[in-house]
Chain A
Amino acid sequence: MTNDKHKKTELLDQLERGPWPSFVKEIKKAGETSPVCGDLLGQLELSYREKKGHWKHGGIVGVRGYGSGVIGRYSDVPEEYPNVAHFHTLRVNQPAGWFYTSAALRTLCDIWERHGSGLTNMHGATGDIVFLGTKTDELEPTFQELTAAGFDLGGSGSDMRTPSCCVGNARCEWSCYDTMGVCYRITQAYQDEIHRPPFPYKFKIKFSGCPNDCVAAIARADLSVIGIWKDAIRQDDAAVAEYAANGLDIRRDVCERCPSKCMIWEQGKLSIQTGECVRCMHCINVMPKALRPGTEKGAAILIGAKAPIVQGALLSSVLVPFVPAGELEDTLKELLSRVWEFWDEYGKSRERIGELIQRVGMANFLDAIGLDPVPEMIAAPRDNPYIFFQSGDEK
């Protein structure tokens, strides 16, 4: 902070107070090692005064041989804040499950101290480590240091975005497949699709180990892989009794909250009709010591979620109701190649796969990728009689 203009951040300074950790303090801390943070704070103060942003569109910047991983950003007031005239972001592919050692974290900090603002997001919305703010000339050197340290860039633009996953087998008893292992291997298998955008628009894959869906796969991923089991919930009767003895109202808080009413609590005994269970997780969430997912584990594969832009928000819908954990990776790779081929052929520019399926219809999409329709794919059959009978089906 070298001149008067930058000292006046009266609005932002008010956000250093209050009990929640302050992002303004973080920017000022990063300013201890980086001269750009003063200008960042200055421009942000201008936005707070004027109630508008001061960043321009990206333009094409990146590292050699990649078409993704860098978000170009330029100030629209570069004369006033020359240190943030370019303020590009690098997306660094996070380790699966966002696990680190202190040594790995320090390695990342040291690289970013040498080449950028010293500001990060841990983590960005898609899951990447976000290195926030550097100049065009620093992109390639940052990248080379990252790869030398074993890290690589993530996705951006019309490519396969950096896959992400929940903590899974590493620290959760509910995980129905190895989310971190599958996420890692799928990420490695599609480095080209992540680094060189080949698609009509973005394509996100998220891996959740159970229907609690801690990485919001069903809401945020074009392909949502959500762990599920086929057999009965594993039940420890003594532990159920202990919950009841400790004051849990099993009838009200467990059985009556069950969406398919598949549980009965009678005479101190909990019984579950497995055939009616929808595997929602509520009873397991409430009694983690007593109930667990079954042992026949795998995942449901759903397709099509996205935020509103362009044709409205979508949740993913069921494509494959169950794949055994051991067959999951091969199934995913086969599915991805068929889905991408169809999308490549028929998708319009900036049309997500979910929007394409809405446009052409799920039945046509299933024909194209060679999957048979099953009733698990729908909430209900059609309620209109406008059936497009295919030639050959009629007499």
Chain B
Amino acid sequence: MATEPVKRITDIGPPHFEQFLHPVIRRNYGRWRHHESPAPGVLCHVAESGERIYTVRAGSPRLLSIQTLRFFADLADRHCGGYLRFTSRHNVEFLLDDPTHIEPLKQELLAAGFPVGGTNNAISNIVHTQGWIHCHSSATDASGIVKNVMDALYDHFTHEDLPAKLRIALACCLNMCGAVHCSDIAILGIHRKPPKIQHDLLRKVCEIPTLIASCPTGAIRPAAIDGKQSVEVVEAACMFCGNCYTVCPAMTMNDPENDGLSIWVGGKVSNARSAPKFTRLAIPFLPNNPPHWPEVVEAVVNIVQVYAEHARKYERMGEWIERIGWPRFFQLTGIPFTRYHIDDFKYAGLSYARSTHIRFQGGASEVL
């Protein structure tokens, strides 16, 4: 080699955050007094020193082009010295020390199609996954459903008009990159058929012992197919989790007719009032119906409306349902209760009603 190779830079980790902080934040780091909520999508944090930092929050589709990121950068330069951040729910936030820039910034965001909101008792952006844009195991698309649902719930993003926070999440398969197991409303892509085994491919790309070990119900066992080593699936034991497909691409799960969506409700992450809790099944299956997924949009909007009408102030979805009881939830939402709602996985018995605390719904005069 005539020339020395350039030394590669590795393992430097992320840049230190301090260089990205607004000067007001740098000066008051760890010394905040309280915050105010002047308008939906606008926050004002007040430091012990009396200094104020304003936040303007806007929704985004999460999938962002560099063109839009440069637009956000330009907005940040025009209105707040170039300082911005993103939230854990894919919103973009501009950080301002000059409140006279709030309105012009909001106007520019709205003109470009980015709604301002998502704070306090509004519906924030939907945490979601890649779907058909980039995932190999998705049972549905993610961005398309989110777009349709948020189109329908748009006014709840821009207004703080619900009893409490309402957090929606979408995951396009049971891997749950979107961690939908603790949201107020969860939209979850599901498969409903056992894997279709491509035996020729399996022999080339999969380790059979690893594949067999991957099945949580032990439904996969070794089998000779045309005299060659492969596996078979005990179909009655398959719960369509797709874990085998993750370790072996020859266990195909995609099925246009049988893949679809399920709807879950009542989870939360925050410790406020009640402990964090998991979402519970509301609707076991809705069809995959692109590009508008009307069944999913209708189901989510219905649950939001019934919740908004009946829950008390500060009651999250799950807290409201615990107060009124699941029978009343199914009655109010008109969602049919089926055998699929009764758990049959591990510890299922813990979810059976183990008391005689039974609510009987009265007549029309009943007051919730």
Contact = CB atoms under 8 A, between A and B. Distances in A.
A319 interface: no
Contacts of B115: 19-21
A289 to B, nearest CB: 5
A48 interface: yes
B63 interface: yes
A371 interface: no
A211 B130 CA distance: 29
Interface stretch (B69-77, B220-228, B331-339): B69-77
Contacts of B99: none
A35 interface: no
Interface residues of B, number: 117
A106 interface: yes
A313 interface: yes
Interface stretch (B134-142, B301-309, B356-364): B134-142
Contacts of A103: 73, 82
A52 B132 CA distance: 7
Interface stretch (B100-108, B192-200, B229-237, B287-295): B287-295
Interface stretch (A7-15, A265-273, A327-335, A336-344): A7-15
Interface stretch (A170-178, A361-369, A385-393): A170-178
Interface string A184-223: 1001100110010000000000000001111110111000
B79 to A, nearest CB: 11
Nearest to B92: A122
A123 interface: yes
Interface in A28-75: 29-30, 32-33, 40, 44, 47-48, 50-58, 64-66, 73
A52 B140 CA distance: 7
A188 B13 contact: yes
Q: Helix, strand, loop or mixed for chain B's interface?
A: loop
B65 A119 contact: yes
A83 interface: no
A229 interface: no
Given A104-B15, A122-B92, A170 B8 contact: no
Given A122-B69, A219-B181, A23 B132 contact: no
A144 B85 contact: no
Given A215-B88, A310-B243, A33 B66 contact: yes
B290 A48 contact: yes
B330 interface: no
Interface in A140-166: 144, 147-148, 150-152, 164, 166
A275 interface: no
Given A20-B150, A118-B66, A312-B345, A50 B243 contact: no
Contacts of A282: 272-273, 314
Contacts of B59: 20-21
A31 B150 CA distance: 24
A20 B86 CA distance: 18
B32 A172 contact: yes
Interface residues of A, number: 123
B17 A99 contact: yes
B314 A167 contact: no
B181 A26 contact: no
A100 interface: yes
B230 to A, nearest CB: 18
A211 B272 CA distance: 7
Nearest to A74: B136
B313 interface: yes
Contacts of B72: 102, 105
A286 interface: yes
A96 B241 contact: no
A109 interface: yes
Contact of B274 (A167, A219, A259, A309): A259
B147 A18 contact: yes
Contact of A308 (B34, B35, B67, B174): B174
Given A55-B135, A121-B62, A215-B88, A22 B147 contact: yes
A264 interface: no
Interface in B21-65: 21, 25, 29-30, 32-36, 45, 53, 55, 59-65
B69 A105 contact: yes
A276 interface: no
A359 B79 CA distance: 54
Nearest to A208: B269
Given A29-B68, A102-B77, A94 B14 contact: yes
Contacts of B243: 309-310, 350
Interface string B1-29: 00000001111111111011100010001
Nearest to A178: B30
A213 B90 CA distance: 16
B329 interface: no
Given A173-B32, A349-B213, A120 B64 contact: yes
Given A73-B136, A350-B214, A98 B87 contact: yes
Contacts of A321: none
B177 interface: yes
Contacts of B136: 53, 55-58, 73
Contacts of B114: 21
Interface of B: 8-17, 19-21, 25, 29-30, 32-36, 45, 53, 55, 59-70, 72-74, 76-77, 82-88, 90, 92, 95, 113-115, 127, 129-138, 141, 143-144, 146-148, 150-151, 154, 157, 171, 174-179, 181-182, 210, 213-214, 216, 241-243, 246-247, 249, 254-257, 259, 267, 269-274, 276, 278, 288, 290-292, 313-314, 345-347
Interface of A: 11-12, 14-15, 18-27, 29-30, 32-33, 40, 44, 47-48, 50-58, 64-66, 73, 87, 89, 93-106, 108-109, 112-113, 118-123, 125, 127, 132-133, 144, 147-148, 150-152, 164, 166-167, 169-173, 175, 178, 180, 184, 187-188, 191-192, 195, 211-216, 218-220, 226, 253, 257-259, 278-282, 285-286, 288-289, 292, 307-313, 315, 348-350
Given A95-B17, A105-B73, A122-B60, 6 more contacts: A20-B61, A96-B17, A151-B14, A188-B13, A281-B272, A282-B272
11 contacts: A11-B290, A52-B132, A52-B255, A97-B17, A120-B65, A151-B14, A169-B30, A211-B271, A218-B182, A280-B273, A309-B246
